[in-house]
Amino acid sequence: MTDSSVRIVSLIPGGTEILATLGLVNAIVGRSHECDYPPEIKNRPICTQARLNSNASSSEIHNDVNNLLQSALSIYEIKTDVLEQLQPTHILTQDQCDVCAVSLHEVEKAVATLIDSKPEIISLQPNILKDVWADIERVGNAFGVDTVKVLENLEARVKICQQKIQGLALNELPTVACIEWTDPLMTAANWIPELVNLAGGQSLFSVTGKPSPILPWETLITSNPDIIIFMPCGFDLNRTQQEAELLTKLPEWEKLQASKKGRVYITDGNSYFNRPGPRLVDSLEILAEILHPEIFQYGYKGTAWEVL
């Protein structure tokens, strides 16, 4: 087990959850402004802040993000004074997405100003489920924690899903559109298509392991998916409901078979689908429950997802 001199600052929610799963909560001395799970880390000092207003409309957030990235600014800034006080031995960050969390470049810049402590930077870069398992292993190795049982447990839950849908015929696997942003319309990619397929669906529009593409409204209408699931990046269930309802007011929405059959769903994307950590397995179970309620009943409805 880690010794008490280990002081970890986690700048990415998925990383914080990996640390917690490995029993390292007590070693976390600081967190990002978005790290909110498990609840016991909420009292740790916050080391980052956003340069944009997350309460703005989706299109305003999208434009602000683009403007910041084009001006070579990160969307988040690191509070170097807080880092300096915390004197971390390790900093957990990511190099996967400049919109999801502090970029590796920003962390390196901040660490360069820390004269006394030269923390080791552990940077996660997950694109598919296997990468998340590898990240858990890497974090475990960095702190001398055995990850075998944790990974076996997560993988066993994935297998249970796979086994339960094995008997389904192709026509019983619904086509699924997962919406990651509403204005502009974008579909969820990276690990999401993989999760949809594992849960007994046919993922539309996105490629596993690739970034999320923009989806023309006409394409959504023409392809007319069986099921539409909203999981906007960084939004909880309430905010997702507001975003989804804006789309339902558009002409042609009523013509979509998902809308006609009552198979449009909202989820807490911020807690589950957008976070590459142990709870991606919960996300898989949520999808399984949405796609095949006749087979799966995990009990996530009402907290993690709802029918729109």
Determine the pLDDT at residue 71: 58
Token readout for 185 is 């319309």
In a domain, residue 95? The reply is yes
Closest to 9 measured CA to CA, from 32, 34, 37 = 32
Closest to 103 measured CA to CA, from 111, 280, 6 = 111
In a domain, residue 132? The reply is yes
In a domain, residue 155? The reply is no
Q: 22 and 123 share a domain?
A: yes
Token readout for 94 is 């990511």
Q: 240 and 189 share a domain?
A: yes
Q: 284 and 199 share a domain?
A: yes
Token readout for 36 is 């909110």
Query: Rounded to the nearest 10 degrees, what angle do helices 148-165 and 129-142 cross at?
Result: 170
Counted domains in the chain = 2
DSSP letters for 75-131:
SEEE-HHHHHHH--SEEEEESS-TTTS--HHHHHHHHHT-SS--PEEEEE--SSHHH
Q: 26 and 73 share a domain?
A: yes
Q: 21 and 130 share a domain?
A: yes
Determine the pLDDT at residue 303: 95
Half-sphere exposure of 302 (CA within 13 A, CB side): 3
Half-sphere exposure of 269 (CA within 13 A, CB side): 25
Q: 199 and 69 share a domain?
A: no
- What does the pLDDT profile of the chain (308 residues) look like in tens digits? 456 799 999 999 999 999 999 999 999 999 999 999 999 999 999 998 877 666 777 677 667 666 665 655 566 788 988 988 999 999 998 775 555 556 677 788 777 777 577 899 998 989 999 999 999 999 999 999 999 999 999 999 999 999 999 999 999 999 999 999 888 899 999 999 999 999 999 999 988 988 888 999 999 999 999 999 999 988 899 999 998 998 999 889 999 999 999 999 999 999 999 999 999 999 999 999 999 999 999 999 999 999 99
H/E stretch holding 29 reads strand 28-31
Q: 298 and 181 share a domain?
A: yes
Distance of CA 192 to CAs 27, 87, 188, 214, Å? Answer: 31, 36, 6, 15
Q: 135 and 235 share a domain?
A: no
Domain that holds residue 51: 8-146
Q: Which of 113, 130, 146 is the last residue of a domain?
A: 146
In a domain, residue 106? The reply is yes
Determine the pLDDT at residue 73: 52
In a domain, residue 160? The reply is no
Determine the pLDDT at residue 78: 86
Amino acid at 57: S
In a domain, residue 278? The reply is yes
Distance of CA 283 to CAs 31, 110, 115, 288, Å? Answer: 23, 33, 41, 9
Give the span between the Cα atoms of 137 and 146, in whole angstroms.
8
Give Cα 274 to chain centroid, integer Å.
2
Residues 26 and 15: beta-carbon distance below 8 Å: no
Determine the pLDDT at residue 145: 97
Residues 33 and 13: beta-carbon distance below 8 Å: no
Q: 228 and 193 share a domain?
A: yes
Token readout for 50 is 């956003």
Token readout for 111 is 């660490």
Q: Which of 112, 146, 180 is the last residue of a domain?
A: 146
In a domain, residue 151? The reply is no
In a domain, residue 159? The reply is no
Q: 29 and 130 share a domain?
A: yes
Q: 179 and 277 share a domain?
A: yes
Determine the pLDDT at residue 21: 97
Residues 282 and 247: beta-carbon distance below 8 Å: no
Q: 132 and 194 share a domain?
A: no
Domain CATH number, residue 221? 3.40.50.1980
Give the span between the Cα atoms of 66 and 36, in whole angstroms.
26
CB count in 10 Å sphere of residue 120: 12
Determine the pLDDT at residue 25: 96
Closest to 278 measured CA to CA, from 104, 44, 18 = 18
Token readout for 178 is 């997962």
